[in-house]
Amino acid sequence: MRIVINGFGRIGRTILRQILTQPDHDDIEVALVNDIARCCQTNENSHRITGAT
C-alpha cells in the first residue's frame, strides 16, 4: 500500500517513524511527505525523524 503523509508535525513524524521501524509495516510504502508549513532541508527533516541531536 502506498500512502502520503500530509504534514510533518508531531503526528506525521510519529507515523513515519513507526512505518520505518516496525517490521510488520513492510507492505506500506511512503510515497510522499507533504509539509508546506515548514521549509526545511532534508538533513533537518531526518533529524526530526530520528530524534538525534
Give the pLDDT confidence of 2-47 residue by residue, as tens digits: 999 998 889 999 999 999 999 888 899 999 998 877 655 555 556 6
Runs of H (alpha helix) within the chain: 10-21, 42-50
For residue 40, the SS3 value is coil
Q: CA 29, 33, 34: angle at the middle one, nearest 5?
A: 145
| Predicted local distance difference test score (pLDDT) of residue 40 | 56
| Predicted local distance difference test score (pLDDT) of residue 42 | 56
pTM (two decimals): 0.64
Decide: 28 and 5 in contact? Cβ < 8 Å. no
Split into its structural domains, the chain has a count of: 1
Instruction: Return the higher-pLDDT residue of 25 and 52.
Output: 25
| Predicted local distance difference test score (pLDDT) of residue 36 | 78
Question: Residue 10: which domain range?
Answer: 2-50
